[in-house]
Chains A and B, each alone.
Chain A
Amino acid sequence: MKEFVLIFRLNDTENVKPSPEQMQERMNWLAGIAAQNKLADQGNTLSVTNGRTVKPGNIVTDGPYTEIKEFISGYIVVKTDTIEEAVEIAKANPIFKLGGNIEVREVVKRS
């Protein structure tokens, strides 16, 4: 069994505060992974308002924004045999309705 981090990205801060229906949808999706016993870590949501980016030369900028206007809104870790399976799980997430995307990356264990 391998572990994969699912990294959620949004590009519109308007969509960060979810409606109760959106919350329910997300929760159903997450619990659905847990119900398959494929959730390694339920991860966290990352704050949009309270963020800084630290750069070389003591430069600290406000916000989590990278060059493109896209930011990471959260992550979870799933455990599946293959990356394809992790991708299938990601496909069912409601984030795409908001124009967001999900990056799937295998966790490389430090040995």
Chain B
Amino acid sequence: MQDNSAAYPELLPHLFRLEYTKMTAVLCRHFGLQHMEIAEDIASETFLKAMESWGINGVPENPAAWLYTVAKNKTKDYLRREQLFEKKIKGAIKTPGTQEAAAVGFTPQIIQDSQLAMIFAVCNPSNPPEAQICLALQILCGFSVAEIAAAFLAKTETIKKRLLRAREKLRQDQFQITVLQEKAIAERLPTVLRTIYLLFNEGYFSASGSQLIRKDLCSEALRLALILTDNKLTNTTETNALLALMCYQSSRLEARENEAGESILFEQQDRDLWSQELIDKGNQYLVNACTGDAVSKYHLEAGIAYWHTTSATKKWEHILQLYNQLILLEYSPMTALNRTFAYAQVYGNEQGIAEAEKLQLTANSSYHALLAYLWTTIDTEKAMGYYQQAIHLTTSATEKKTLQRALDKLSLK
């Protein structure tokens, strides 16, 4: 035993999350989804024991191995008790899906397979997307209810209720978690990708919540997508396109905010702060994504994100074309606004304004912010009016600050 107990308050939360999710995945697969709670109880007890023991004896040399040994023993104990119970009380209901008292194993392959199976189990299409993200955060990413509530700026009670309902659906689901069927994978992959995409966006775009938690959401989404690339059934061109998109976006994480936590607009970002490593990774995944004929929304968004990393002269023409395709594939007010911004970059602000006004998204603060931006070079008064509207409509404090700064700059003119 090494004495690095001084480091353990730092070590535990990170280790906790990662190993907790791996452990529950393996145990859930072992016990079946109906008995998710047993799996989680065993995992929690294991970590409780770790906290006690490591606090006194220091952190073991291989903390993960230590955890798995304890979990293995606890599972054995549980199953022994259970068998005793079944023997003594005859006729006890034997639930299908529960495995016999086979020893649970924690080899890297089992962990990997279990994690993948768990991702597919959690992304149950019968749950609404926001519930799926909460579930993913709790079960796949090891977030506490309080952390999820902080990420969504919601009350803990709301999140608890949402999770309770969603978990009930998981238990009722007949999803076969022990052996992943090819057909089940094909059917659920779109839901899985969508959940990862939304998880990432929640971290990347939500203007609320602490910066730390938001970065965590982004890296968790990347981690889950990477698990998908390890299996040939899930390593599809769409998966690669989504990964490319997330890499490109992540490359700008450091450049998006100044030290005071205020967001920096794209054009004003310090490009030296962009991570070239992540851009290169994005390029690599985008190449993988383009090996087939399929063009998904992830392909289009990754393409847009790619052009944003370049300074090519025709880049806005390409971005506009991709936005045109994206809006035809799926309407969203944000896509409509972003497309109009690209349109204005190609055809000038005046034509951009005409195109923007057609959208009539008058209740959307970004709509007014876009018009304010486009009017800036043409009519300061008008631009200021739109900025005021946008400030009035936005609910995000960070965005309010950013808009106010833009407005102040105009009033100085």
Task: Judge whether A35 is part of the interface by a CB distance below 8 angstroms.
Answer: yes
Residues of A with C-beta under 8 A to B343: 28
Alpha-carbon separation in the docked complex, A39 to B331 (Å):
9
Judging by beta carbons under 8 Å apart, are A36 and B360 in contact? Answer: yes
Interface size on B, residues (CB 8 A): 17
Task: Judge whether A27 is part of the interface by a CB distance below 8 angstroms.
Answer: yes
Residues of B with C-beta under 8 A to A39: 328, 331
Judging by beta carbons under 8 Å apart, are B331 and A34 in contact? Answer: yes
- Pick the residue among B321, B335, B336 that contacts A36 (CB under 8 A): B336
Judging by beta carbons under 8 Å apart, are A34 and B327 in contact? Answer: yes
Alpha-carbon separation in the docked complex, A17 to B117 (Å):
50
Task: Judge whether B359 is part of the interface by a CB distance below 8 angstroms.
Answer: yes
Judging by beta carbons under 8 Å apart, are B331 and A37 in contact? Answer: yes
Task: Judge whether A24 is part of the interface by a CB distance below 8 angstroms.
Answer: yes
Task: Judge whether B323 is part of the interface by a CB distance below 8 angstroms.
Answer: yes
Judging by beta carbons under 8 Å apart, are B359 and A35 in contact? Answer: yes
Judging by beta carbons under 8 Å apart, are A24 and B358 in contact? Answer: no
Q: How far is the CB of B176 from chain A (nearest CB, A)?
A: 38
Residues of B with C-beta under 8 A to A82: none
- Pick the residue among A27, A32, A42 that contacts B358 (CB under 8 A): A32
Q: How far is the CB of B353 from chain A (nearest CB, A)?
A: 13
Contact with A along B349-372 (1 / 0, CB 8 A): 000000100111000000000000
- Chain A 19-33 residues near chain B, CB threshold 8 A: 24, 27-28, 30-32
Q: How far is the CB of B341 from chain A (nearest CB, A)?
A: 11
Q: How far is the CB of A36 from chain B (nearest CB, A)?
A: 5
Judging by beta carbons under 8 Å apart, are A42 and B359 in contact? Answer: no
With known contacts A24-B321, A42-B328, A31–B339 Cβ distance under 8 A: yes
Judging by beta carbons under 8 Å apart, are A32 and B321 in contact? Answer: no
Contacts between the two chains (Cβ within 8 Å), count: 38
Residues of B with C-beta under 8 A to A31: 323-325, 327-328, 339
Indicate the member of A24, A32, A34, A35 with the most B CB atoms within 10 Å: A35
Judging by beta carbons under 8 Å apart, are A36 and B358 in contact? Answer: yes
- The residue on A at minimum CB distance from B338 is A35
Q: How far is the CB of A40 from chain B (nearest CB, A)?
A: 11
Q: How far is the CB of A66 from chain B (nearest CB, A)?
A: 30
Judging by beta carbons under 8 Å apart, are A36 and B359 in contact? Answer: yes
Judging by beta carbons under 8 Å apart, are B324 and A28 in contact? Answer: yes
With known contacts A35-B336, A36-B336, A30–B358 Cβ distance under 8 A: no
- The residue on B at minimum CB distance from A28 is B324
Task: Judge whether B239 is part of the interface by a CB distance below 8 angstroms.
Answer: no
With known contacts A32-B358, A35-B358, A37-B331, A27–B324 Cβ distance under 8 A: yes
Judging by beta carbons under 8 Å apart, are A37 and B324 in contact? Answer: no
Residues of A with C-beta under 8 A to B21: none
Judging by beta carbons under 8 Å apart, are B331 and A32 in contact? Answer: no
Alpha-carbon separation in the docked complex, A27 to B321 (Å):
8
Alpha-carbon separation in the docked complex, A24 to B314 (Å):
14
Task: Judge whether B115 is part of the interface by a CB distance below 8 angstroms.
Answer: no
Task: Judge whether B240 is part of the interface by a CB distance below 8 angstroms.
Answer: no
Alpha-carbon separation in the docked complex, A108 to B339 (Å):
32
Alpha-carbon separation in the docked complex, A30 to B327 (Å):
10
Residues of A with C-beta under 8 A to B321: 24, 27
With known contacts A24-B321, A27-B321, A42-B328, A35–B340 Cβ distance under 8 A: yes
Q: How far is the CB of B161 from chain A (nearest CB, A)?
A: 32
Q: How far is the CB of B16 from chain A (nearest CB, A)?
A: 44
Judging by beta carbons under 8 Å apart, are A30 and B336 in contact? Answer: no
Residues of A with C-beta under 8 A to B340: 35
Judging by beta carbons under 8 Å apart, are B360 and A30 in contact? Answer: no
Residues of A with C-beta under 8 A to B320: 28
Residues of B with C-beta under 8 A to A37: 331, 336
Residues of A with C-beta under 8 A to B359: 35-36
Judging by beta carbons under 8 Å apart, are A35 and B360 in contact? Answer: no
The 8 closest A-B pairs by CB, nearest first: A31-B324, A35-B336, A34-B327, A37-B331, A27-B324, A31-B327, A34-B328, A35-B327
29 contacts between A and B (CB under 8 A): A27-B321, A27-B324, A28-B320, A28-B324, A28-B343, A30-B324, A31-B323, A31-B325, A31-B328, A31-B339, A32-B355, A32-B358, A34-B327, A34-B328, A34-B336, A35-B327, A35-B331, A35-B335, A35-B336, A35-B339, A35-B340, A35-B355, A35-B358, A36-B336, A36-B358, A36-B359, A36-B360, A37-B336, A39-B331
- Known pairs A27-B321, A42-B328 / 16 extra A-B pairs, C-beta < 8 Å: A27-B324, A28-B324, A31-B324, A31-B328, A32-B355, A32-B358, A34-B331, A35-B327, A35-B335, A35-B339, A35-B355, A35-B359, A36-B336, A36-B359, A37-B331, A39-B331
